[in-house]
Amino acid sequence: DVKVTQSSRYLVKRTGEKVFLECVQDMDHENMFWYRQDPGLGLRLIYFSYDVKMKEKGDIPEGYSVSREKKERFSLILESASTNQTSMYLCASSFLAGIAYNEQFFGPGTRLTVL
């Protein structure tokens, strides 16, 4: 079974703090994604990566950065956390498959609260 793990299930931080969210997958997937999920808005893509050291902006990259130094690990960084970044953060991975079938496997999510 594919396993995607995230470093924390719940996290509480203060405004202005630097926050690191870690994601690890064990299936040698090329693609990794970071989403945030908010009520009524669904999942919105923050950043994704096709390969090590490669990153692409998603729909809402402002206030976030990412790092992919190893294939299995994709980190999301909030440089200076703000209250509007309080959300559920979901990491996902998938095989590189072009426009073909490319199921995404999700981690359990990190619920971040910024006070």
Partner 1 sequence: RKEVEQDPGPFNVPEGATVAFNCTYSNSASQSFFWYRQDCRKEPKLLMSVYSSGNEDGRFTAQLNRASQYISLLIRDSKLSDSATYLCVVNWDNNDMRFGAGTRLTVKP
CB 52 → partner 1: shortest distance, Å?
Answer: 16
Query: What gap in Å lies between CA 114 and CA 50, rounded to an integer?
Result: 29
Residue with smaller CB distance to partner 1, 40 or 69: 40
Using an 8 Å Cβ cutoff, are 91 and 32 in contact?
yes
Using only C-alpha atoms, the chain has a radius of gyration, in whole angstroms, of 13
Query: What gap in Å lies between CA 29 and CA 96, rounded to an integer?
Result: 7
The residues binding partner 1 (CB under 8 A) are 31, 35, 40-45, 48, 50, 58, 90, 94, 96-104, 106-109
Q: How many residues does the chain have?
A: 115
Residue with smaller CB distance to partner 1, 2 or 77: 2
Burial class (CB in 10 A: 0-12, 13-18, 19+), 40: exposed
Residue with smaller CB distance to partner 1, 42 or 69: 42
Residue with smaller CB distance to partner 1, 80 or 102: 102
CB 47 → partner 1: shortest distance, Å?
Answer: 11
CB 80 → partner 1: shortest distance, Å?
Answer: 27
